[in-house]
Homo-oligomer: A and B are copies of this chain.
Amino acid sequence: MKLAAGVEWALHCCVVLSRATAPVPGARLAELHDVSRSYLAKTLQSLSRAGLVSTTEGRDGGYLLVRPASEISVLDVVRAVDGTEPAFRCTEIRQQGPFPTTGEACLSPCGIAKVMHEAEQAWQTSLRQVSVADLAATFEATSGSAALRQLSGWLAG
């Protein structure tokens, strides 16, 4: 099981954007995290399609959070970037082979799929309980409030 690398970037970008007032260009975000601007754009597009960030084109354009950071959960970001496909996909292999299960038993999802699905729900529930605002608050606590303020100034300049 592997999560897309862009998830980490997207989360960091959202934290930065939570402190931004004016649109932040993708190039600036890329420079800040030292990643390729072109590839980061792909990730930001995912956030845009999911309705998490708004894009402003033209000069002085860039990205901005649509909702308040407190109303954006980590799960929202993860699902936007990594997709909503479940990690476990039951192929119902029981229906193959010399002893296929009867149709009736296959109508209800097989026990394995059920267990895997419940685990994924637990994972999502855990991510849903944390918002981008919470992350930003954690950063302020560990890095000091001056850091984000300094960063905001750099974004503006």
CA distance A5 to B82 in the complex (A): 18
Q: Which of B35, B88, B108, B126 contacts A118 (CB 8 A)?
A: B126
A side interface size, CB within 8 A:
62
Residues of B within 8 A of A118 (CB): 126
Q: Would you call A31 an interface residue if the criterion is a C-beta within 8 Å of the partner chain's C-beta atoms?
A: yes
Q: Would you call A66 an interface residue if the criterion is a C-beta within 8 Å of the partner chain's C-beta atoms?
A: no
User: Given A115-B74, A120-B123, A87 and B8 touching (CB < 8 A)?
Assistant: no
Contact present for B135 and A98 (CB under 8 Å): no
**A→B interface (CB under 8 Å):** 1-5, 7-9, 11-12, 15, 31-35, 74, 82-83, 85, 87-91, 93-94, 96-99, 101-102, 105, 108, 110-112, 114-116, 118-127, 130, 134-135, 138-139, 142-143, 147, 150-151, 154
